[in-house]
Structure 1
Amino acid sequence: MWVPKVDRVASDAHILTVELDDGTSKQYTLQDLKTKFRSRKITAVMQCSGNRRKHMSQGSGRPTNGLQWSAGAISNASWEGVLLADVLADAGFDLASGLDGSSEAKHVHFAGMEAYSASIPLKKAVDPQGDVLLAYSMNNTPLPPDHGFPLRAIVPGHVAARSVKWLNHITLSDEESISQWQRRDYKCFGPNETKVDWDAAPAIQELPVQSAITHVKMGGWADAAQADSRQGGAGYSPPTPRLAAQKVCLSGYAFSGGGRSIIRVDVSLDGGRSWSQARLLPDSVDEDGSSHGHWSWKRWRFDSSAPLALFREREQRKDYPANVKSEATEAAPAGEAENDGDTGRRCTTVLVKAIDDAYNTQPETHTATWNLRGNLATAWHRIQICADCSSPATARPPAPSTESGEADA
């Protein structure tokens, strides 16, 4: 795909054509949209269906087809524009017929200047709480070229592939878009299906629950007796008051589609044997409160301590990057850290999973949800955190160190 060049000085003359199911059409300039309709602002996530595809490939041990995104094929921004429903009504469409299902039209097609096209269900488009925008502003400035200047669709809670950029044509139809990106991509199949019938699966629309660790900070060894009793999760009471524990700070994002809010983020420092809850940060809210759903991500933070006894795994950095780990855990034999002649670095597996307000949560493994395109890689995010365990309980703990996962979201 290519990025269309639009003269910013003349951008208000950009034309959007709206074609109804009865064949009638109406055209609007960008200036018309800005002046004839009430502007709306929402904060919403744009997430590629392939976000964390790399995690699926490396976690499951099976390759997937597509760009090997880590945890950064997602963004969160403030979008301003006009409601698609308002424009459809002005063009002559009966919104009530779309809501009650009596309309012959069932889908809304979006087409961009560079030939990309996709569609969404009509009910989402006309839902007064669906917040589908024709957006001309991002983070209080005109859309950047890469984000669709001068006009794009924003379909909050849905996969980003439906939020068509460089928008110049909208069509109501009784069938979904026939484009490659609607019919033969952005779909999921079973982990056993490698030769697929593309017509047998629906196109991805609403997104499932997702979360990821984007930053890890190791704070050095501390006396576990000084740690809060909640730190490290259940069952971490030290057997002696001088047992060392590694300070750990984790942070990341969580999100669920369909306007569902994140109500909890669970974190495990011991490979899933025990869990604690992260703190949900009070950010990413709509400035004017005009949105009707929870379209934004939720940032979270977890501060804790990991006792020395947890660091039992071999370091896998040679085989896996810092932001993903194999779903097979390999523990080091007892005493090996002191006896095998290596550096004494040992690791533990950290996990994160999110839960939304419908109590949907993430699958445990990518193995169970593997699909050939690597779409919707939403399994628990697992990474290793490692520390020098050669002499952690001495009176001189190692200096604090920082190890980061991806922070590109």
Structure 2
Amino acid sequence: DAKTPDAWVQRHPSLIRLTGKHPFNVEAPPAEIYDYGFISPVNLHIVRNHGAVPKLDWDTHRIEISGNVPNPYSIGMDELTQMPSDCFPCLVVCAGNRRKEQNMIKKSIGFNWGPAAVGNTYWKGVPLRIILNRAGIYKPGPGRRFVCLAGPEGELPKSYDGQDGGPGSYGTSIDMETALDPTCDVIVAYEQNGDRLHPDHGYPCRVLIPGYIGGRMIKFLCKIIVTDEESKNFYHFNDNRVLPVGVDAEKATAEGWWFKPEYIINNLNINGAIIHPQHEETLHAPMKKYTIKGYAYSGGGRKVIRAEVSFDQGQSWKLANINVREKPRWAAGSSGDKAKHWCWCHWEIEVDADEIRGANEICFRAFD
């Protein structure tokens, strides 16, 4: 990172850079983060940066709570950490995880994430609903249907005139129901795996929205704005959309497809990957058995219930064992089918090595 604005940030040498030297967009080698275990180390966690990491100070940083609220206020970090908090494990994953495989078939406008645009760590922070309650917001209604979230002004080069969050900010929004629902576990986080946030992960505080794509989890949080409409921030519209076949970036811009609410991505879709065998791994001749390993996850708190592999292009499937998963999480006042699953799970299956040797490809699928 020498001769970049991020020269002051300490980073793990194993991380794979996907957009050149700067800005810093990286994933870990897939086997390295997977083999570490169910809880990922912070220094191998996915990083998605649109620009330089801002140098923010714990003692002076403040979050402004404003908009259509009866009691607007601002809060510093020491005061924030004195409020009621929650701590739980949660997967953070980019909506573009495994995009490289799509780009090999047809190039998208996004860069080549491999299968390790993930990180499963413990997060501690204050429930967003408590922060909103203090501002006098207890339920949705006219004028308070969305919560807009934004990082520092002047952080990034692109913005719309008058956008939520101010010029040069990275911003987005979530609906008020999600923000206030205790079973959704939305928090303003200030610790990861027991330590204050690393600069790349949003120091001194960021939003965590379990089950959502990482692009909604604003880092370096500065503003919480209650509004009647979704965010008008540049990055809310121009990032994280899935458009119909035949609508490319040029057509989307010319015809305003970026602004159609039907094509926004919030909750994650089910996804996963095979981690072992790795690319170009060699199976030695005497080997009789081999254990195929991988991970799976889903969005919205849905539980992954099944993982399977196929050696004959999906004509038949073998059931894998989901051997590492979280305990169901029940938020305050919930039970039964309200249990949420915010993490990835690990699966494996032992097979005859000859099945791998004789296969043109190994297919994997998961169900929630």
| TM-score bracket for the superposition, by shorter chain length | 0.7 to 0.9
Whole-Å separation in 2 of the counterparts to 1:218 and 1:263:
31
For residue 237 of structure 1, what is the aligned residue in structure 2? none
Whole-Å separation in 1 of the counterparts to 2:200 and 2:90:
17
Deviation at 1:87, TM superposition (A): 0.9
Whole-Å separation in 2 of the counterparts to 1:141 and 1:171:
28
- Answer yes or no: is the 8 Å Cα contact 2:243–2:263 preserved in 1: no
- Candidates 63, 66, 76, aligned match of 1:16: 63
For residue 106 of structure 1, what is the aligned residue in structure 2? 145
Deviation at 1:48, TM superposition (A): 0.9
Whole-Å separation in 2 of the counterparts to 1:103 and 1:299:
43
- Candidates 95, 98, 113, aligned match of 1:69: 113
Q: Which stretch of the first structure deviates more once superposed, 150-159 or 38-47?
A: 38-47
Bigger CA radius of gyration: 1
Deviation at 1:189, TM superposition (A): 1.4
**Residue type at the aligned position of 2:129:** A
**Residue type at the aligned position of 1:105:** R
1:351 corresponds to 2:352? no
**Residue type at the aligned position of 1:271:** Q
Q: Paired residues, what number?
A: 287
1:2 corresponds to 2:55? no
Deviation at 1:12, TM superposition (A): 4.1
Whole-Å separation in 1 of the counterparts to 2:106 and 2:55:
40
Give CA deviations for 1:340-396 in whole Å, capped at 9, x if unaligned. Answer: xxxxxxx5210111101xxxxxxxxxxxxxxxxxxxxxxxxxxxxxxxxxxxxxxxx
Deviation at 1:154, TM superposition (A): 0.2
For residue 213 of structure 2, what is the aligned residue in structure 1? 159
Whole-Å separation in 1 of the counterparts to 2:263 and 2:227:
17
Give CA deviations for 1:230-282 in whole Å, capped at 9, x if unaligned. Answer: xxxxxxxxxxxxxxx86332212111100101111111122212101111123
**Residue type at the aligned position of 2:81:** K
Alignment of structure 1 residues 230-379 onto 2, 5 Å: 247-285=289-327, 293-307=340-354, 311=357, 347-356=359-368
For residue 136 of structure 2, what is the aligned residue in structure 1? 92
Whole-Å separation in 2 of the counterparts to 1:16 and 1:103:
24
Q: Which runs of 5+ in 2 are unaligned?
A: 1-50, 156-168, 333-338
Whole-Å separation in 2 of the counterparts to 1:311 and 1:212:
20
Whole-Å separation in 2 of the counterparts to 1:146 and 1:156:
19
Give CA deviations for 1:187-228 in whole Å, capped at 9, x if unaligned. Answer: 111222222222234321111101111221665456xxxxxx
- Sequence identity of aligned pairs in percent? 31
- Answer yes or no: is the 8 Å Cα contact 1:264–1:278 preserved in 2: yes
Give CA deviations for 1:306-342 in whole Å, capped at 9, x if unaligned. Answer: 536x756xxxxxxxxxxxxxxxxxxxxxxxxxxxxxx
Whole-Å separation in 1 of the counterparts to 2:100 and 2:55:
32
Q: CA RMSD in A?
A: 2.2
Q: Which runs of 5+ in 1 are unaligned?
A: 223-244, 313-346, 357-409
For residue 27 of structure 1, what is the aligned residue in structure 2? 74
**Residue type at the aligned position of 1:53:** R
TM-score normalised to structure 2 length: 0.73
For CA contacts below 8 A with separation 6 or more, give which structure has more relative contact order: 1
For residue 396 of structure 1, what is the aligned residue in structure 2? none
SS, match of residue 361 in structure 2: strand
1:55 corresponds to 2:101? yes
- Candidates 195, 204, 211, aligned match of 2:265: 204
Whole-Å separation in 2 of the counterparts to 1:127 and 1:32:
23
SS, match of residue 146 in structure 1: helix
SS, match of residue 177 in structure 1: coil
Deviation at 1:43, TM superposition (A): 1.1
SS, match of residue 129 in structure 1: helix
SS, match of residue 101 in structure 2: helix
- Answer yes or no: is the 8 Å Cα contact 2:186–2:209 preserved in 1: yes
SS, match of residue 4 in structure 1: coil
SS, match of residue 307 in structure 1: helix
- Answer yes or no: is the 8 Å Cα contact 2:90–2:121 preserved in 1: yes
